Structure 1
Amino acid sequence: MKLENVTELSRSRVRQGYDDACGTALALDFIGERWSLLVMRELVYGPRRFGEIRANLPGISANVLTQRLEKLAETGIIVRRMLPSPANVQVYALTPWGLQAAPLMRDLGRWAAQSRRHDPLLFMSPASAMMSLETLVDPAKLADMPPTSIAFRFPDDAFVLRTDAGSLVIRREEGAATDVVLTGTTMAMRVSIYGKLPLDADGTGGGMAVAGDMDRARRFVDLFRLPEKID
């Protein structure tokens, strides 16, 4: 196919908002609208129902969320599918191409967290909390961390994080046997991991309740730090 034909085909499928051939400009056409990237963030760790996405994006209206999901589907970033019986509900999931944007989200988060405008006390969804761990882990300390599995149990979501040979992998999962179980809200997670509040078994000190190997839990918490702020 000739270059001219490819160009005409691309313009017929995607609204060109910048008249700029740079891939960054095209990326902004795909995900530059308000909420789009955050909708994608909520799907990084697995499919979600419409109500679950909306519950974790305070301030978004049902109408706007519908519009963003439709556009992301049109551009091939997400897909709609039905969960099998007995659930029989529609969910939204990132396509393999859409999932490739996850490292970009983490890089953006790490960059923006250096700003003095970053407020770590604002609302944070469970998916956002998990992504913050991938974003703010210390690679050198992670390389020295022995293989460890950590379950995170939030009020409306659950994840398992595994470290091994310098890697950190997070999946939406519940019921798995793990070395450590951390239970609480995303705020409790932040004060435990980033605020370095001393860990305790029942969480009465304000952090997450800890069950399992306390030494591994403390070593795990030491992997993370908020970045220094820019001047």
Structure 2
Amino acid sequence: MQSEKITDVGPSPRERRYDDACGTALALEFIGERWSLLIMRELVFGPRRFGEIRANLPGLSANVLTQRLESLEEAGIVLRYRLPSPASVQVYDLTEWGREAAPLMRAMGRWAARSPRHDRSLFMSAASAMMSLQALVDPKRAASLAVSAAFHFPGEDFVATVEGGEVQVRRGVMDAPDLAFTGDTRALRRTIYGKAPLVRDGAGGTLAFAGEADLARAFVDLFTLPAKTA
């Protein structure tokens, strides 16, 4: 009788259990796998096609993305549906419960940005850049400013509205915003967090901008990176 070789490869992500009653342990069962939280980040501002998600997560294979989306869908965090005509394409989106994790993601990003290992030169998606504005705004400064700003990234448009000390962000365009910024996310980081001089045409790798210069400077001054840990 031939013996059967059995290899213990451990539990699959969908079977992983921490046997811990803490809600944090359950959260890790849902989103603790590599890429899961970043996939959710890409969906915070609305539905995305499979290819759009993958394009904004360099290094993520199509196979792993499919697995993670299936796991998140089974957990009730992500849903998929088809957009109405004329688009008629399948998209993925966060459920209402899944979207409740957005403040947690912003808090985690703000916390991790204090690490000396935080490297601002790495790739950053447009969704990540816009979420950073929400995470790194100074509420006291923002309380005294009401402004709308359009952001035009290559292939993606967003609108950020500052009101009541908070920054609200949505995908899309806006008629007659107070300010308009154009460039990529590297230019955003150089302008907003690096505090490079504002130049209307975006010279020096900064964001090009339209609107009142004083208002643009006041907007940029709302955001700052947190101090690094010792």
State TM-score, norm by structure 1: 0.92
Name the amino acid aligned to 2:201: D
Counterpart position of 1:188: 187
Displacement of 1:185: 0.4
Q: How far, CA to CA, are the matches of 1:161 and 1:105 in structure 2?
A: 18
Displacement of 1:215: 1.4
SS in 1 for 2:107: helix
Q: Deviations over 1:26-60 (max 9, x none)?
A: 00000000000000000000100000000000000
Q: Deviations over 1:56-75 (max 9, x none)?
A: 00000000000000000000
Give the structure with the higher percent helix.
1
Displacement of 1:134: 0.6
The alignment covers a number of residue pairs equal to 217
Name the amino acid aligned to 2:172: E
Of the structure 1 ranges 164-173 and 64-73, higher mean CA displacement relative to structure 2 is found in: 164-173
Counterpart position of 2:175: 176
SS in 2 for 1:225: coil
Displacement of 1:116: 0.2
Which runs of structure 2 are paired with 1:143-182 in the superposition (5 Å)?
Answer: 143-145=143-145, 147-182=146-181
Q: How far, CA to CA, are the matches of 1:176 and 1:50 in structure 2?
A: 29
Name the amino acid aligned to 2:228: K
Which runs of structure 2 are paired with 1:34-183 in the superposition (5 Å)?
Answer: 34-145=34-145, 147-183=146-182
Q: How far, CA to CA, are the matches of 2:180 and 2:213 in structure 1?
A: 10
Q: How far, CA to CA, are the matches of 1:41 and 1:206 in structure 2?
A: 26
Write out the 4+ residue segments of structure 1 that deviate beyond 3 Å after TM superposition. Answer: none
SS in 1 for 2:157: strand
SS in 1 for 2:209: strand
Q: How far, CA to CA, are the matches of 1:118 and 1:30 in structure 2?
A: 25
Of the structure 1 ranges 198-207 and 98-107, higher mean CA displacement relative to structure 2 is found in: 198-207
Q: How far, CA to CA, are the matches of 2:213 and 2:150 in structure 1?
A: 13
SS in 1 for 2:19: coil
SS in 2 for 1:182: strand
Q: How far, CA to CA, are the matches of 2:160 and 2:79 in structure 1?
A: 26
SS in 2 for 1:28: helix
SS in 1 for 2:197: coil
Q: Deviations over 1:152-191 (max 9, x none)?
A: 0000211000111222100001243201100000000000
Provide the identity percentage. 64
Q: How far, CA to CA, are the matches of 1:165 and 1:115 in structure 2?
A: 29
Contact 1:153/1:182, CA 8 A, preserved across alignment? yes
Q: How far, CA to CA, are the matches of 1:104 and 1:21 in structure 2?
A: 20
Name the amino acid aligned to 1:118: H
Contact 1:16/1:26, CA 8 A, preserved across alignment? no
State TM-score, norm by structure 2: 0.92
Displacement of 1:16: 4.9
Contact 2:134/2:166, CA 8 A, preserved across alignment? no
Q: How far, CA to CA, are the matches of 2:216 and 2:194 in structure 1?
A: 15
